[in-house]
Every structure is written in structure tokens, then in C-alpha cells.
Amino acid sequence: MSKQVLQQNKQNTITGCNLIFQDIDICVKPYYKNRTKLFRTLIGNTVSDALLYMPTSTIEKFSINELSKEYINKQVIVNVVIDNIEIHKYVTNKPITMLGHVGDKHIELLFFNYKPAYLKGIFFVGGNVKLVGQLTLSSMNQYQMINPKRATFKTIPGICNIYPLKNGVTQDCIYSITEKALDILNISDVQEWLPEHIINKYNFYSFYKSLKEIHQPNTNHLNLIDNIYRRRICFDELLAEQITIQINKIQDNKCESINCSISILEEFINKLPFKLTLSQLNAINDIINDVKKNIPMKRLLQGDVGSGKTIVAILAMLYVIQNGYQCALLVPTEMLARQHYNNIISYLTDVKVEIFTANEKGKIRKNILDGVKDNTVKIIVGTHALFNNKLEFNNLGLVIVDEQHRFGVNQRLSLINKGKNPHILSMTATPIPRTIIMSIHGDIDVSSLNTKPIGRKDIITTSLSTDKINELISAIRRILDRGEKVYWICPLIEDSDKLDYTCVIERYTFLKQYFGSNVEMLHGKMTANEKQQVFDKFNSNDVNLLVSTTVIEVGIDVPNATVIIIENAERFGLAQLHQLRGRVGRSLLQSYCILLYDKHCSIISRQRIKIMCQTNDGFKISEYDLKFRGGGEINGIKQSGLRKYKTFDHNIPEDQHIINEYIIEANKLAKSIVKMNSVSLYSDCIRIFKPNFSLNLNKSF
């Protein structure tokens, strides 16, 4: 941000908007004296909450003096003279019917689920009533209105908002409250807080004008996504969010910087039997630069399946333990924990590494706990057992969480709190679009591994109807004869009366007929030891065909497994299909993924399968996934606590257009604001959109 813009903003500091932070009572009581509690529940506690109570859609109402087919299926305001009223006293599923006329044309009024006593207070034969509702044609080509409302002084032709309601609240109620809130905003003398270059870039209007046009539209803004007034308010909210994120990052508790020689890393890298990719080297540099600071690192290492996140994590741990710190690697399953443990000890032969799961008992468990407590154990790999209160670290410096979406926020914190502000590295193999990361995980820095290890081939993905399953048998035999391995994934363990999907036990029995002892099965109902024994057989040369549920979805690495068959592929989402596909393609051998689908599956399921066949790019797949199911579950957002926005819904794919367009700009501006210590100029923006955020304006950032 330039000094000129900063000076302009100082002159435009909001000085008179304290009125909009007053209690919502001042908007409610002039109209609805005894209903404040109801509106607090629906809207919020302050005038600013009323201003930010956004309509979900808009409609256009037409004032008409005569009935005409050009207004069919449109909202109309019309005076109807009542000719006849028919009430069915003993038939509950029939509507109350009224016949009336407008000029020389007849109209039928139908009222479903209305009490006769209520309608008798409004309608009587010969009465002239002004109504508002949708005009339709009956099957008999008769003009008709179903459940019309009596028009009030607030009912005017033109563009009208539709707000979310609850029992006891009408649209007119919201119109009155937002109108009063706008009057208060108008006399509050709110000055502009956005820099001029942002306003000019996006053609934004002022805060007041934008809210006025949202709540009292006088032009056709039926498409809220393209409504420039709403977009302005959305940008303000994104900016307030990003400023608070940047403040929180700086206000985090300090930690000791870890500044070591990188010579040991260089020596380690030079001895590797493979060459690191450029993105792996960049990620390592990012991590080293982070831990050198006295602010705890919060970094997300995201990389497609097979992109080499594990070796980056090992290098990060090697760097940290040089200064006497300990590292904890948290993983979701015991199988994955043992795989990570074996990987680490094969690389770091001179480092004391332990594995800690629910299966470590007695003296072994005690020795691990003692070793961690006295700093003999430098690296510990574990499952949920790491949350155990008896596990005490001597000097925890780095926490790595693999497949971090598998853990809840409180779970991760319980491990992090075992150290004094340790650095945190989260890893995920489910790539997330950058704009989603910035809006949901804006307090996390991101390193992306966007290239595969040198020599790896793309997985060839094909689809096949399940009624052609026998054609696979001869193909599988050829693959096994080459000494390669095959996964066969089923969605269920056992037969289900409710779901018509193939189960592991059924498929295992079927394949056993052809491949005998060369087949094993794996599923979630097996004990940890049973699962490990089966996996060890598959990892060796004892078994080459593994029938499994999605228990092998995460992290399992068997280099000579070259084919994965996913049965009932229509049952799985894109992200899960991509994760499962990542179990193959982990060597220089050509690998294949075969998606078996029910030929009667839905169009959307076929689209998902088609996308999987077209691309191996996890980032593209995540974008498609967002379109199919919205942002609510990407990377376990629901689990980690999706922020609730006032002006848009993050879960609606259409609203992602707003985020995509503005989030990077808002993030950049927020960083500049905090860096130049000009947060006070945006204090009202923060108070309006983030009322629960505690802001100390006397503190320098």
C-alpha cells in the first residue's frame, strides 16, 4: 500500500459509526415491542447485524389492474373482489376456496393449512382485498392464486428481497428492521475504508450505498452472484477475516528459533538413491526459513499421491533434532504408522526413533515413555496414542500431522500442547485449490509438491461395467505372472440388505476360486495385528492379490503394486477415488486403475468416473470435486471448523466465484495493512464483520 493511499485512508477514518454497534432493540421496538428475543435469535444483537442480514434471493412483483396471461407464474399485486367463500369443515386435506373477480375476469383463491377463523377476519363476500402472490392457471384454464398474502403498506411493485425467516417473522418484519438499520447507518457518517485502487479495480460503490441497494433494490438485481453491491460487502468481510488472521499470526506466542547448519541436510540429500524434485527442495527451504523465526510455523505441505511428502518430512525432522528438539509424527492408522516408522529408521540410522500405538504394552511402553521424557527418543511416530496424558516430551520442537483432516482440532491441540509452542507441519494428499486454502486456512502457509518424482509414469485409468467383471480374470493372471501386485477395492465388508454393493467377503470368495492362496482380504473389522499380518504378506511375495475396503486408502506404499480395481466406483467421491488410485504408480512400472461401475448408476456418477479417466492431476480433481459437492467437506473442513460468513455461504459453489475473485487481493491487502501498522484505519470494518474479535489498537503489529 502506498504512503499516499495510507494518508488518504487516515483522512477517511470512520469516526461516527458507533451508532451501528448499538443494540438491535432500536430497530425492533418501534415496530415489534415485545419480540426482540425472536429477532436476536434470527438476525443478531446489533444494528450492524441487521445491516448484514442478507437476502437469499430477489423477485419482481408486478402491480396489475386486470388479469392477463403475460403475468402467469409471476408475482403480482392485485385487488380482488370476493364473490364466494367455501370452507371444508371436516376435510383437512382440502383447501379453503374463494372465488372472486378482477374487472370482468374470474379468479380462484386456494388457501392450504389456514385456520378458517383467521381468514374470516380478512375476507368476506363483497369485500375488496389487495393481495400479493403468484398468478397461475388451473388445469381448467382458470386464473388462480395459491396461498396469497394480504398486501401491506410495505408491499410495493418492483424488485423485492426474499430473506430467510422463522416462525413468527414475515418478510415485512425484516423490511421494517433493515429500513431502520439503513436510516441509522445513513446518519452514522461512515467513511470509506477501502483504498482507492481497490474501489477502482472492482468498480465498487460505498459501504452505505452497497447496503442500501442490497436491502432496497431499485434496479433489477435478480442474480445475487453478479450483484456488484453484494460483492462489495463480501470483499469487506473477506478483508476483515484476513486482517484478523494476520493479527493472530503475529500475536501467537513466541518460540525459540531453530537455526542450524544445513550441511547435514546437503549430505543426506546427496546420499539419496534418487534426485529430489524442485518442488520438494522448495518445500524444504520453506520449512527451514519458517523454523528459523521465533513465531511457530504453521505450514501445510500438500502434494498429490506419490509426490514425495514423506522424504520432505524426514528432512524437516533431521533439521530440527540437530538443536536438541524432538519431533512427533501423528498418523491416522497403525498400518501407516508402522510404514512411516520403517521408512524413517531406514534413512535415519543414527537417530533414536520409536513407534507408539495402542499395541505397545508393558515394559516396551514404559521404555518409550521414559525415552521421550528424557529426550533419548528424538522422533516418535504414533496414532491417537500420542494424545495419551502419560506421554511427556522433554523438548518437543516439531509436530507433523499426516492426513491432518483425519483428526479433530482438539485432538491436534492436545498433542501440540505437549510442547512449548512447537512448529507444526500438516500434510495432505488431497490437493486444495489455493483460494480455498486462503479463505479457510488463511493462517497457514502452504507448500505444494506439484511434480512427481523423476521417472514416475501417469496411471492409466479406465472404466468397465460390473457385468463384464469376468473379463478381468485373465488380465489379472497375466499381471500376477509378471510378479506385480493387484488391489481389489470393495465398498462394504459384508452383504447389506439396504445397499446393493459388492462386499469384500463375497469378492474374496469369488477370486479365491481362480487364484487360491495368492488372495487375501483386509477390512476394518480385523484387529490391528490381523491387518498388519495380512499387509506384511502382501508387501512380501506371499500374496499378490489383496481384496480390501478403503482401509488401504491412506499412505500405503507397495512399489510393485501396479493395478488397483475399484468396484462400485460410483459409490465413491472424486477425492476418495483419487486417494485410492494413489496406492499404485509408486515405482517406475506402468500402473493402471480400473473403475468398475453399475451400468444403471446416475449421470453425476458417470461424470465423476469420466473425470477420473481424463486426468491424474489432483488439483484439477479437487476443483471438480468442489463443483460437485461444494467446499464444506474439502480436506475435512467440517471437522476443523468452517468459519461462518455473514454475507455469503462458503458451501454454495456459486459463492466460490466471489472467493476466487477477491480472496487473494484481500489477503495481499491485509498483509500490507498489518505490516504498515494501519489496522486502526480498519477497526470499524473489523468490528462490523468480526464483532467477537478482540482488537487492541494501542498495540503495534
Residue pair 17/190 in contact (Cβ under 8 Å)? The answer is: yes
Q: Do 69 and 14 fall within a single domain?
A: no
Question: What is residue 553's predicted lDDT score, i.e. its pLDDT?
Answer: 65
**Cα–Cα distance, 376 to 180 (Å, whole number):** 67
Residue pair 415/424 in contact (Cβ under 8 Å)? The answer is: no
Q: Grid coordinates standing for 168?
A: 413468527
Question: What is residue 7's predicted lDDT score, i.e. its pLDDT?
Answer: 40
Q: Do 180 and 310 fall within a single domain?
A: no
Nearest Cα to Cα of residue 141 among 103, 109, 108: 108
**Cα–Cα distance, 229 to 212 (Å, whole number):** 9
- CATH code, 441: 3.40.50.300
Q: Do 428 and 545 fall within a single domain?
A: no
Three-state helix/strand/coil letters over 111-171: ECCCCHHHHHCCCCCCCEEEEEEEEEECCCCCEEEECCEECCCCCCCEEEEECCCCCCCCH
Residue pair 264/245 in contact (Cβ under 8 Å)? The answer is: no
Question: What is residue 571's predicted lDDT score, i.e. its pLDDT?
Answer: 86
Domain boundary among 615, 639, 661: 615
Domain range for 530 is: 460-615
Question: What is residue 281's predicted lDDT score, i.e. its pLDDT?
Answer: 95
User: Within 10 Å of residue 563's Cβ, how many Cβ atoms?
Assistant: 24
Nearest Cα to Cα of residue 419 among 400, 395, 389, 391: 395
Q: Do 480 and 573 fall within a single domain?
A: yes
Which residues lie closer than 8 Å to 309 by C-beta, 6 or more apart? 301, 303, 402, 427, 429, 449
Q: Grid coordinates standing for 174?
A: 425484516
Question: What is residue 634's predicted lDDT score, i.e. its pLDDT?
Answer: 35
Q: Do 491 and 572 fall within a single domain?
A: yes
In a domain, 271, yes or no: no
Residue numbers in the chain where pLDDT is lower than 70: 1-17, 88-92, 219-226, 251-253, 404-410, 431-443, 494-501, 553-555, 626-644, 650-654, 656, 696-701
In a domain, 278, yes or no: no
497 burial level (CB within 10 Å; 0-12, 13-18, 19+): exposed
**Chain mean pLDDT for the chain:** 84
Nearest Cα to Cα of residue 578 among 607, 541, 615: 615
Residue pair 400/316 in contact (Cβ under 8 Å)? The answer is: yes
Question: What is residue 639's predicted lDDT score, i.e. its pLDDT?
Answer: 35
Question: What is residue 631's predicted lDDT score, i.e. its pLDDT?
Answer: 45
**Cα–Cα distance, 688 to 20 (Å, whole number):** 8
Helical segments of 615-654, H only: 618-629, 637-640
Upper half-sphere CA count for residue 109 (Cβ side, 13 Å)? 30
Q: Do 153 and 187 fall within a single domain?
A: no
Q: Do 188 and 131 fall within a single domain?
A: no
Number of domains in the chain: 4
In a domain, 185, yes or no: yes
In a domain, 246, yes or no: no
Question: What is residue 590's predicted lDDT score, i.e. its pLDDT?
Answer: 92
Q: Grid coordinates standing for 517?
A: 492362496
Domain boundary among 449, 472, 491: 449
Q: In what order do the strands lie in the sheet with 460-465?
A: 460-465, 592-597, 561-566, 485-489, 545-548, 519-522
Which helix (H) or strand (E) is 281 found in, with range?
Answer: helix 278-291
What is residue 441's three-state secondary structure?
coil
Q: Do 384 and 440 fall within a single domain?
A: yes
**Cα–Cα distance, 47 to 687 (Å, whole number):** 12
Residue pair 519/511 in contact (Cβ under 8 Å)? The answer is: yes
Upper half-sphere CA count for residue 384 (Cβ side, 13 Å)? 9
How much is the CA Rg of the chain, to the nearest whole Å? 32
Angle between helix 228-251 and 656-675 (nearest 10):
50
Which helix (H) or strand (E) is 356 found in, with range?
Answer: strand 353-356
How are the residues of the chain apportioned to helix, strand and coil, as percentages rounded to the nearest 5?
A: 45, 20, 40
Q: Do 401 and 473 fall within a single domain?
A: no
Q: Do 342 and 424 fall within a single domain?
A: yes
In a domain, 378, yes or no: yes
In a domain, 700, yes or no: no
- CATH code, 153: 2.40.50.140
Domain boundary among 158, 181, 213: 158
In a domain, 648, yes or no: no
Residue pair 445/287 in contact (Cβ under 8 Å)? The answer is: no
Angle (CA) 95-98-99 rounded to 5° is 140
Which residues lie closer than 8 Å to 10 by C-beta, 6 or more apart? 678, 681
Q: Do 52 and 64 fall within a single domain?
A: no
**pTM of structure:** 0.65
In a domain, 629, yes or no: no
Q: Do 414 and 491 fall within a single domain?
A: no
Phi/psi of residue 20, nearest 5 degrees: -75, -5
**Cα–Cα distance, 366 to 354 (Å, whole number):** 12
Pairing between β-strand 592-597 and β-strand 561-566 as defined by DSSP bridges: parallel
